[in-house]
Amino acid sequence: MHDIIRDLNWRYATKKYDSSKKIKKNDLEIIKESLRLVPSSYGLQPLKFIIVNSTELREKLKPISYNQSQITDASHLIIICSYININTSHVDDYLSSILRTRDIAINEIEAFGNSMKTTIDKMKNEEKYKWNKNQAYIALGQLIHTCASLRIDATPMEGFNAKEYDKLLNLSDQNLSASLVVPIGYRHKEDKVQFAKKVRKSQDDLFITL
């Protein structure tokens, strides 16, 4: 079996974490770099990743996450936040970053910049947030796979009250909203779900070959 398939079969949405086991600093750095390298529409990266270390804060987040025990028991808690709004100044920052990184002339990317600005200008505010939130799911997929390769457990979570998160963490003032929550760490030996067979559709059901 290929390593990728082995990793993907090893992982599962962990329900119970062993709170005594902590992720090593080196592994956390790999996870952070993996999130930095996440692709996004146009490359705009309208995301922030909050790593909540504070136990006190995690205790407060638990009741606004349907009391899911992973919030407090996992080694680390990552909140994937999306920008609420995105505008031409974000595009300009991005264009400057391209110029700096690739050492090219502005005229080489002017058309690209204008096309991004036109697309964004046409969007209503709700559409912008929806677009930015879509980028969070790309980060989620990459995060889960990276963790699985490192034999670190992860739980993708939509089961939380985003409005309450935004309020508690003062996110709106920073043009952010909590899109997804991902506890990461090590499965508890008593988590029965780890022994359950994966339930997935067959390839015949999933693929259409034309």
Interacting residues toward ligand FMN by CB under 6 A: 12-13, 15, 68, 155-159, 198
**AA letter at 30:** I
What residues have CB less than 8 Å from 121, skipping those under 6 apart?
88
Helices marked H in the chain? 3-10, 25-36, 55-61, 70-73, 88-102, 110-122, 125-149, 162-168, 203-206
Q: Residues 68, 158: contact at Cβ < 8 Å?
A: no
Please report how close the Cβ of residue 152 comes to ligand FMN at its closest, in angstroms.
14
Nearer to ligand FMN (CB atom), residue 140 or residue 176: 140
CB of 198 to ligand FMN, least distance (A): 5
Nearest approach, Cβ of 199 to ligand FMN (angstroms)? 7
Reading the block at residue 125, the tokens are 């505010």
> With respect to ligand FMN, which residue has the nearer C-beta, 68 or 72?
68
Residue with tokens 């504070």: 54
Residue nearest to ligand FMN (CB): 159
Our CB check for ligand FMN shows the closer of 94 and 160 to be 160
Considering the complex, state which of residue 106 and residue 193 has its C-beta at the smaller distance from ligand FMN. 193
Nearest CB to ligand FMN, comparing residues 24 and 163: 163
d(CA 23, CA 26): 8
CB of 95 to ligand FMN, least distance (A): 32
72 touches 161 (CB < 8 A): no
Cα–Cα distance between 133 and 135 in angstroms, integer?
5
Query: Smallest distance from the beta carbon of 65 to ligand FMN, in angstroms?
Result: 8
